[in-house]
Amino acid sequence: MTKIMNQYSDFAFIYDELMNDVDYNKWVEYIEDIIKSKNVNVKNILELACGTGNLTIPLTKKNYDIAGIDISYEMLSVAKEKAEKEGVELVLLQQDIAELDFELYDLDCVLCACDGYNYLTYDEEIQNSFFTVYDLLKKDGIFIFDISSFYKLSNILGNNTYGENREDICYIWQNYFDETENLVDMELSFFVKCEDNKFERFQEYHKQRAYKEDEILKMLKNAGFEDISIYGDFTFESPKDDAERIFFVCKK
């Protein structure tokens, strides 16, 4: 059966399996190291684009009060189920991070990990989100997010096709990079083994924007942030030309 689905709908239910090579413990450690390095007292965190809770759940276990926001109902439902299994209480909200509607202010930290902002493809969307985050933070609060770099989206994903043939899941991931708009169109076809040992096929179409560091920096400054550090690939150093993940750390 062939189905055309939206971003992170059926994919949500196999997302964790396909991300099993990502070291989320290391990611949590890195976030905590960033917080320490900026001398911010963080008790609560608003996590944007929290997905299936791969950071939300371990951070909650470390006693942070967290609310997670994501646009995908399915990703949130996986997060909820995982949290229940692990006996962790999470506050989860289905919202678009371009139009955040969060009523609690004076937050210690706002976090957005693993490409959330690449999914906002218009300047106005990302700028609007930065304005709201600035408003939500307490004075001295910290905003930590990362994006897939321009280099990664234009060169590594670029116009290339990737695939994997696992025992229970196979996928083909075709990318098309539009150099005028700096957008990557991704066509994902998944084949997932069902109980009757037949494979079900479904497709998703994702779109991400490749941002240059300067574009993001300008929008952060417009929003009011002045103390901004930019790090490459889980280090505390400026990103190298071939860095794949760029971290922005902004103190209000």
Ligand X SMILES: C[S@@+](CC[C@H](N)C(=O)[O-])C[C@H]1O[C@@H](n2cnc3c(N)ncnc32)[C@H](O)[C@@H]1O
Mapping DSSP onto H, E and C, the string for 82-126 reads HHHHCCCCCEEEECCHHHCCCCCCCEEEEEECCCHHHHCCCHHHH
Nearer to ligand X, 62 or 198 (CB): 62
Beta carbon nearer to ligand X, 72 or 149: 72
Cβ distance to ligand X smaller for residue 50 or 192: 50
**Residue 50 or 59 with smaller CB distance to ligand X:** 50
Question: How many degrees, rounded to 5, is the angle at CA 154 between CA 148 and CA 160?
Answer: 105
Residue pair 110/123 in contact (Cβ under 8 Å)? The answer is no
Give whichever of 34 and 120 is closer to ligand X, judged by the CB atom. 120
Choose which of 42, 66, 114, 147 interacts with ligand X (CB under 6 A). 114
- Binder to ligand X among 8, 64, 134, 211 (CB under 6 A)? 8
| Residue choice 108, 115, 146, 204 for contact with ligand X (CB under 6 A) | 115
Q: Is 111 left (phi over 0), alpha (psi -120 to 50) or beta?
A: beta
Residues 47-76 that bind ligand X (CB under 6 A): 49-51, 54-55, 70-72, 75
Q: How far is CA 173 from CA 18, 74, 119, 159, 170, in A?
A: 12, 21, 17, 10, 10
Q: How many degrees, rounded to 5, is the angle at CA 199 between CA 195 and CA 200?
A: 95
How far is 222 from 216, CA to CA, in rounded Å? 10
Q: Considering only residues 11, 64, 119, 173, which one is a binding residue for ligand X as defined by CB under 6 A?
A: 119
Fill in the per-residue mask, 150 to 189: x = in contact with ligand X (CB under 6 A), - = not in contact: ----------------------------------------
How far, in Å, CA of 29 to CA of 41, rounded?
16
Nearer of residues 100 and 220 to ligand X, judged by Cβ: 100
Interface residue with ligand X among 98, 137, 184, 249 (CB under 6 A) is 98
Give the CB-nearest residue to ligand X: 51
Interaction site with ligand X (CB under 6 A): 8, 49-51, 54-55, 70-72, 75, 96-98, 113-116, 119-120
